[in-house]
Chains A and B, each alone.
Chain A
Amino acid sequence: MAELVSHPDEIKVVTRRFGMGATNIDRYLELDGYKAVQKALAMPPDDVINLVKNSGLRGRGGAGFNTGMKWSFVPKQSPKPKYVLCNGDESEPGTCKDRLIFEHDPHSVIEGVMIAAIAVQSHAGYIYIRGEYRYLSVIMQKALQDAYARGFLGKNIFGSGYDLDIYWHGGAGAYEVGEESALMESLEGKRGIPRIRPPFPAVVGLWGGPTVINNAETLASVPHIILGGAEWYASLGTPKNGGTRLFCLSGHLNRPGVYELPMGYNLKKMIYEVGGGIPNGRSLKAVVPGGSSTPALKPEEIDVAMDFDALMKAGSMLGSGGVVVLDDTTCMVKFALRTIKFYQHESCGWCIPCREGTDWLKKTLTRFHQGAGLMKDIDNIQYLSENMLGRTFCPLGDAAAMPTIAFVKKWRKEFEDHLEGRPCPFEKEGAIEQLPVLSH
């Protein structure tokens, strides 16, 4: 199954209870569970918000917005009910970390939702888990049931006078639904089409009420921050990038796995020391630093701190923590093609630049990889991708365009090597001629 790995450089905050049976509520309580929420209940809500703000915790789903600041946008008074929504729709290629949190420490997610609710004075929360994660939904439903049975959820939680309900909700297969506004549409029982912003969810969210939406790892970090303090959490990372995060190492590595490392950990070290380097005597060709939506880095670019700001400066993004390593047997054109195929498949179809753009890119890159590409295609791929940026309701269009621009700019020579009917230089002996086509 999904084995756990470890490395001495890990700092175990979110993962500290992994492998210790913490799905069992008594075990969770033994391991400092449900202490943080009781501390939060005794604090003024604004103090909870400021604590989280000062910890430097930033969204672990990919966007990296300061969590406490997001909470502070929720209006104090609201004619409509306020909600907390945990985004457990983990679907970004390269990302498999929330899965482990749901599997090994589901109560920490529940507790995080509870603290967020208390901070913004909401009385209802939802934990949305992607449909494919059924075994994890079963675990979460049991955890919620146990929390209710102990009086930690429902009316008058912990005898505090505060009422709070948290419900599980399941998806049924859709990457776009991980986008916060499409997530809300899905939870409301509709197609996952994004909403235009403003207004932002913190002001107008679920059923029109103010809604805090946070990634599962973000919420799972919150109880630890409440107990350990803002200074402590902030000190683990880099300025404005507090704490640790779960990095999912995958691809051509000797030791793939999910590792919790401090924010700002060096990518080169992560690949070679934590991930054990590249197998079979091959060399590094490219790294996708934070899930498929992030521009790939060349070997000369990997000496970089893995935090939100340093990667942004380097022309990429920390994203979801999905570190995908490519060796020199990889065809970058094929990799670019598979990446764009994903976005074309998952595009909800609402916005023309995304729907038509991803489709044209997929068709062009398919033709290109088969050897029927033209020189002008290379420039057109870049030009079209650039014209998709910032012109859609949601970032899926950007997520498709930015990596494509990087592939074409940084590995242009490889695209040129596919011209004039030349066979792909990387296709192995007896490789599959035709990729089965994903239908929609």
Chain B
Amino acid sequence: MKFSEEFEQRFAEMVTHYPTKRSALVPTLLYAQDEVGFLSDEVISELASRLALTELEVRNVISYYSMLTTKPRGKFNVQVCTNIACMLRGGEELLHHCSKKLGIGHKGTTPDGMFTLEEVECIGACSWAPAVQVNYDFHENLTTEKMDKVLDEYKKRGTQ
């Protein structure tokens, strides 16, 4: 299995950064997931082989890290923080609002495959709470109105 040119170049370089190839596993899994959408059996098998690991060893690692998934997700993963600083400034209400608007719950995906919703732990935006991360983008100082605009923007982007 081959990944994009960019991935292959990055991977070839990354494995030279460590005394053991295995060290490249965690960041590589995330880059592979970014590209393929989720960590499919094929991706797991490929990376295991490249890093001289068993598939079981790779799956053991995947199951530990919360950003990694072996199931397909929506185009946009809406990650709403409800930890203490965000909770104090309406994070739970924001999650509930997104859940109602999108019609899905935690780790659910909309039928059109556009959005997945996830309740997450602290994303490091406490002083700009309440905050949401959509894929890797931060959205901060939110209200339910602002959140609606954010979701509409992504919906537009996703249908182009």
Is the CB of B36 closer than 8 A to any CB of chain A?
no
Is the CB of B23 closer than 8 A to any CB of chain A?
yes
Total contacting residues, chain A, CB less than 8 A: 64
Q: A172-B29, A257-B127, A330-B88 are in contact. List 17 more A-B contacts (CB 8 A).
A: A1-B128, A81-B19, A170-B26, A170-B30, A172-B26, A174-B66, A186-B26, A187-B23, A188-B20, A188-B22, A189-B61, A192-B64, A251-B85, A258-B127, A324-B88, A324-B126, A339-B84
Q: How far is the CA of A338 from the CA of B84 in the complex (A)?
A: 7
Chain B residues in 8 Å Cβ range of A1: 128, 138, 140
Contact in complex: B93, A436 (CB < 8 Å)? no
Nearest first, the 3 closest Cβ-Cβ pairs linking A and B are A173-B67, A173-B66, A189-B22
Is the CB of B68 closer than 8 A to any CB of chain A?
yes
Q: How far is the CA of A39 from the CA of B128 in the complex (A)?
A: 38
Q: In chain A, what residue has the closest Cβ to B136?
A: A134
Q: How near does chain A come to B98, taking the closest CB pair, in angstroms?
A: 10
Chain A residues in 8 Å Cβ range of B29: 172
Q: In chain B, what residue has the closest Cβ to A257?
A: B127
Stretch of A71-79, A90-98, A105-113, A229-237 with 4 or more beta carbons under 8 angstroms from chain B: A90-98
Chain B positions 2-44 with a Cβ under 8 Å from a chain A Cβ = 17-20, 22-27, 29-30
Residues on A facing B (Cβ under 8 Å): 1-3, 81, 90-96, 98-99, 130-135, 165, 167, 169-175, 186-192, 207, 248-252, 256-258, 288, 292, 322, 324-326, 330, 335, 338-339, 342, 345-346, 348, 432, 435-439
**Which of B24, B60, B99, B124 contacts A191, CB < 8 Å?**
B60
Contact in complex: A131, B127 (CB < 8 Å)? no
Q: How far is the CA of A176 from the CA of B66 in the complex (A)?
A: 11
Chain A residues in 8 Å Cβ range of B18: 167
Q: In chain B, what residue has the closest Cβ to A209?
A: B19
Contact in complex: A335, B68 (CB < 8 Å)? no
Is the CB of B95 closer than 8 A to any CB of chain A?
yes
Contact in complex: A250, B121 (CB < 8 Å)? no
Chain A residues in 8 Å Cβ range of B102: none
Known: A248-B127, A256-B128. A436 touches B88 (CB 8 A): no
Is the CB of B116 closer than 8 A to any CB of chain A?
no
Contact in complex: A2, B122 (CB < 8 Å)? no
Contact in complex: A256, B127 (CB < 8 Å)? yes
Chain A residues in 8 Å Cβ range of B19: 81, 207
Contact in complex: A438, B106 (CB < 8 Å)? yes
Identify 18 residue pairs between A and B in the complex whose beta-carbon atoms are under 8 Å apart, listed by A's number. A1-B140, A2-B125, A131-B27, A132-B133, A135-B138, A169-B23, A170-B30, A173-B67, A174-B66, A188-B22, A189-B20, A189-B26, A190-B61, A251-B89, A322-B85, A330-B88, A339-B84, A436-B105
